[in-house]
Amino acid sequence: MSELRVRNMDDWIVSELRARAKSHGRSLEAELRELLRAEAVRPRREAAERARALRDAIAQEHGLLPDSAALIREERDSRG
């Protein structure tokens, strides 16, 4: 794992983060890890949400497509 060091943080920011960590029952370090993790995965979550919304919009406009697995299996089985 990597280490980070952040210098020259305003005292009020550190105080706010300490209070936030305390309210979550975590150390300041654990709170910062969680904040950084959440920020790092945010773009992936947003992309997944956009894909989900697009899928839902397509399904609403065109209906759900049938699952083709059974048809594919039947076709393969018929070939022997």
36-57 tens-digit pLDDT: 999 999 999 999 999 999 999 9
CB-CB contact of 28 with 21 (8 Å): yes
The predicted pLDDT at position 64 comes to 84
Element (H, E) at 40: helix 28-62
The predicted pLDDT at position 57 comes to 95
Element (H, E) at 76: helix 69-79
Instruction: Report the alpha-carbon distance of residue 22 to residue 74 in Å, rounded.
Output: 60
pTM of the model: 0.65
